[in-house]
Amino acid sequence: MNTFAFVNANVLTADGFRSDLAVLVKGRDIAALVPWAELGEDIERRDLHGDALLPGFIDAQVNGGGGVLFNNAPTVDALRTIAQAHRRFGTTGLLPTLISDDAAVMAQAIAATRQAIAEGVPGILGIHLEGPYLAPARKGTHNAEKFRVPDEAEIELATSLENGVTLLTLAPERVPAESIRALVRRGAIVVAGHTAASYEQTRAGLAAGVRGFTHLYNAMSPLQGREPGVVGAALEDPDSWCGIIVDGVHVHPASLRVALAAKPRGKLFLVTDAMPPVGAADPSYELYGETITARDGVVRNAAGALAGSALDMATAVRNAVELLGLPLEEAARMASTYPAEFLGLQASHGRIAAGYRADLVALDGDMQVTGTWIAGQAP
């Protein structure tokens, strides 16, 4: 079993940053956090030269990366490429995200995810099905021709991944409450997104088992004085989770600061909604037969709708510090601890503590990634 210790690092612990601790790794897991003076002489030391050592980032919404879009290539090789591309930016765990598509493509994507997890492809934690049970009025870049209401067979298909997390985004006004309850009973984490629901419809969805909201503020009915909408319901509800895209484009920083003030600490987490340009030299890709190009870090389709993002998780963390005024330790938790809790992985991921997976990322003083480890292994 490979055993070593990270030393000379500013380690993010449950109590904040500590510079006096070594992180002892045995095999795939963190064995202990110990003072340097108590570290055995026979332990291999890996000097991080004062860098911050954080829990590895967990991204619940990754459409693509490394030049690959999951919808266009629902294969194990594609998942490997996507995960490798995002690993460069500190992401050690992700949910490959399939946007609205036909049932046959959904089946291929679920099968590829199942196989990737069985083969131990680093970083693949499950799948995010973003649609196709969405609202045409808030379709964003999704193809509304793919939208439908799930029947019993599709509920079974959508929840057929047995060896990882299944996250499913739907419009609660389009899916019967009993169908939402059936998805939850079968183990899916159900969230609301691409929805034109009223406040009352959103509350009914929460009562049926909706656990959170996909990219808060984007593609959902807004908060208004006499109609709180989806955004109002999301901000009011203390128990639900909200993913947020902090790229300075999808949502104004002031609106995100309002969400931070409204939601209990830990209920907002960072996502990228990343598209193939992340980690790739080519800024263009194909989506539903249309060529889309990232320009100045912004991804829009021909109609002008935002088509995902060119954001990576390390940049999202930096933006949370620089645009939202958060301390690095809180921005890091929004990229690791909180998404782990949202996905039900809080016992194994998202913290630097004994017994947790040795999924780690190191950042220098400029918050640039200097190293990533998944299950104790460097790339």
Q: Is 194 annotated as a binding residue?
A: yes
Give residue 374's identity as a one-letter amino acid code: I
Q: Indicate the SS3 state at residue 199.
A: helix
Q: Is 130 annotated as a binding residue?
A: yes
Q: Are 299 and 275 in contact (CB under 8 A)?
A: yes
What DSSP designation does 173 have? T
Helices (H), 211-367: 229-236, 253-262, 313-322, 328-334, 337-342
- Peptide bond connecting 172 to the previous residue in cis, omega within 30 degrees of 0: no
51 labelled catalytic: no
Task: Report how far residue 174's alpha carbon sits from residue 134's, in angstroms, rounded to the nearest whole number.
Answer: 7
- Residue 372 CB partners (closer than 8 Å, separation 6+): 56, 87, 88, 90, 91, 92, 360, 361, 362, 378, 379
Q: Is 111 annotated as a binding residue?
A: no
Angle at 192 between CA 269 and CA 301, to 5 degrees: 85
Q: Is 141 annotated as a binding residue?
A: yes
Task: Report how far residue 104's alpha carbon sits from residue 361's, in angstroms, rounded to the nearest whole number.
Answer: 36
Bridge-based pairing state of the strands 268-270 and 298-300: unpaired
Bridge-based pairing state of the strands 3-7 and 21-26: antiparallel
Q: Are 376 and 27 in contact (CB under 8 A)?
A: yes
Q: Is 215 annotated as a binding residue?
A: yes
Q: Is 301 annotated as a binding residue?
A: no
Annotated active-site residue in 247, 273, 312, 359: 273
Q: What are phi and psi of 164, to 5 degrees?
A: -160, -175
Please name which of 106, 89, 88 lies closest in space to residue 97, comparing C-alpha atoms: 106
Q: Is 144 annotated as a binding residue?
A: no
Please list the residues that pair with 293 across neighbouring strands: 284, 300
- Spell out the long-range contacts of 13-18 with Cβ–Cβ below 8 A and sequence spacing 24 or more: 13/352, 13/353, 14/351, 14/353, 16/329, 17/52, 17/329
- Within 123-162, strands assigned E span 126-130
List active site positions.
273
Annotated binding site: 130, 141, 194, 215, 218-219, 226, 250, 306-308
Annotated binding site for Zn(2+): 130, 194, 215
Annotated binding site for substrate: 141, 218-219, 226, 250, 306-308
